[in-house]
Amino acid sequence: MCPIVPQPLCVSIDGHLHGFRVTLAFLLSVCVSRMTFTAACPPPCLCASDIVSCSGRNLSTVPPDLPGYVTRLDLSHNVLSALLLDWPDRCLDRLTALVLSQNAITHLAPDAFAPTPHLRHLDLSSNGLSRLNASAFHGLGELEVLLLFGNRISQTMAGAFQGLSSLERLYLGGNRLAAFPLELYQRDGALPRLRFLDLSMNMVRQVPVQSLLSLATWQQGGIYLQGNPLVCDCALRAMLEYWERRQYRPLLDFREEYPCSLGQEEWLNCSASPQGGFNGPVEVSYQAEPGDWLMVPCPGISLPLREGLMVFWVTPGDGSPALGVTDDQSSRLTVLTNGTLEIRGALREDSGTYSCVAVRGRRRSSNETLEVTVSVGNSSGPGKSGEERSSGGEHFNTAFTTLASCVVSIVLVLLYLYLTPCRCHGGKAGGVGGCGGRAMLLCADPREAELADRRVTGGKRVAFLETGGEHPHKCSAKHPVMDAAATEGILKNGSRALEQVLEEHIA
């Protein structure tokens, strides 16, 4: 928008076109200079359309007068030490990517990213952050990727990531975290769309195995724990073996960087496989009725269990809780000390696929399975409905066949009546007589044409008869006419009576 020019600056020569042109040129020059100033690229930076790069300029503060149209801003490889609330002098509501890596940032002010509400990618890697405040990322509801690796973060305050409802990938590798941040998946600080969590190269020694097994499959398959000083026990070994059999990429890609490797189950005394390998058939499907008590053994383990062996059961459905051995008998689903899953008072919603997580080690065969299918209340229900569907199908077939037969019969009758007329033959003189006036006969085959004068159909019970007095001029005396008694006999006695009457008339 052009600025308002004070009146003394306006030069006008009344009555002369030249003065008007001078004034117009001056106003245009002011507007153009103002627009150029607004859209100019900051001096230490490089600009390419909507990208502004200020990387490697030894900047200790963010350059002023950043253009409002910028969508990607690169401030990496500088010496920025803090990010305050007023770090940009305007609202950058079109900015979607902000790169602040390789700086010396140790402090993030509360609501520091309020001027950039539409950020989707934020890179704060390789800085000096040691802790994250509760409202450090407040207002970034559209953020999808957050890079924090290579800092010195040892703790995250409660709610530090709260409100990041769109966050899918979080990189926390190369920090000093000593505990697994389970709050990212549970309670108020949960990130509902988080499918990738990098915790590699931290100081985590213990992980909540049962809680991790309770996560959805798409969440478990994106947790990276390589490079941590994990204490290798039977529970962790069982989880890693389960992840390996599930073909989760974090474990397959960095298998050698985990402390619990294949073959360590012997000295851990964790293997539950039978000595010499897994043998014998395994029942992988169980049927129960509602209210039944069901005992489901863990497939592929030997009994009795060794002391210290951990067995977990992953229940059906993503996000359903994993069950471990417990003395709590109040729950309907419990894991006994021998690893058997006990289902008390089975319900229909208990149906599904259960996975038994235990250390089985190297000695396993191709027919060994981790999963067991439980069906509650499906033995009679589907069968009954199947019978009903079968019975309904039979009734439908019968009705359809009957209807089709009727339609075919009607079509044949119509074809018979209207498409095969028999000609009436004349008398001995060879002339064509007019018998059709009294009766019209339709023949089933050519041989019956000779009987057309008798007004009958060979082998048929349908005849169209007319009284003799309607067309007396078309029938001669040589063509006998059946009387009323003969006609009544035909109608009452059918074809036999018809044949007898014909024989009598012919005679």
Tens digits of residue pLDDT in 481-501: 455 555 555 445 545 544 564
Query: Residue 192: inside a domain, yes or no?
Result: no
Q: How many domains does the chain have?
A: 1
Query: Residue 264: inside a domain, yes or no?
Result: no
- Please give the distance of CA 5 from its chain centroid, rounded to a whole number: 62
Q: How confident is the model at residue 275 (pLDDT cuts 50, 70, 90)?
A: very low
Q: How confident is the model at residue 397 (pLDDT cuts 50, 70, 90)?
A: low
Phi-psi region of 277 (alpha: psi -120 to 50; beta: other; left: phi over 0): left
Query: Residue 85: inside a domain, yes or no?
Result: no
∠434-437-442 over CA atoms, to 5°?
A: 90
In angstroms, rounded to a whole number, what is the distance separating the alpha carbons of residues 119 and 130?
A: 23
Query: Residue 173: inside a domain, yes or no?
Result: no
In angstroms, rounded to a whole number, what is the distance separating the alpha carbons of residues 225 and 208?
A: 12
Q: Is the pTM of this model over 0.75?
A: no
Tens digits of residue pLDDT in 170-196: 999 999 999 999 999 987 778 999 999
Amino acid at 158: A
Higher pLDDT, 159 or 182: 182
Q: What is the pLDDT of residue 101?
A: 97
* CA-based nearest residue to 441, from 450, 429, 433: 450
Query: Residue 90: inside a domain, yes or no?
Result: no
- In this structure, the number of other CB atoms found within 10 A of the CB of residue 419 comes to 8
∠346-347-348 over CA atoms, to 5°?
A: 130
Range of the domain at 331: 284-376
Q: Which residues of 453-485 are buried (b: 16+ CB within 10 A; e: fewer)?
A: bbbbbbeeeebebeeeeeeeeebeeebebbeee
- In this structure, the number of other CB atoms found within 10 A of the CB of residue 117 comes to 15
Tens digits of residue pLDDT in 289-319: 999 999 998 887 776 666 667 889 999 877 6
Bridge partner residues of 123 (DSSP): 99, 147
Average pLDDT, the chain: 75
Which residue has tokens 């003799």?
Answer: 468
Q: How confident is the model at residue 273 (pLDDT cuts 50, 70, 90)?
A: low
Tens digits of residue pLDDT in 210-241: 999 999 999 999 999 999 999 988 889 889 98
Q: What is the pLDDT of residue 473?
A: 45
Query: Residue 361: inside a domain, yes or no?
Result: yes
Query: Residue 358: inside a domain, yes or no?
Result: yes
CATH number for the domain harbouring residue 337: 2.60.40.10
- In this structure, the number of other CB atoms found within 10 A of the CB of residue 349 comes to 9
In angstroms, rounded to a whole number, what is the distance separating the alpha carbons of residues 352 and 20?
A: 86
Nearest-Å Rg of the Cα atoms of the chain is 47
* CA-based nearest residue to 462, from 489, 495, 436: 495
Q: What are the backbone angles phi and psi of residue 417, rounded to the nearest 5°? A: -80, -35
Query: Residue 364: inside a domain, yes or no?
Result: yes
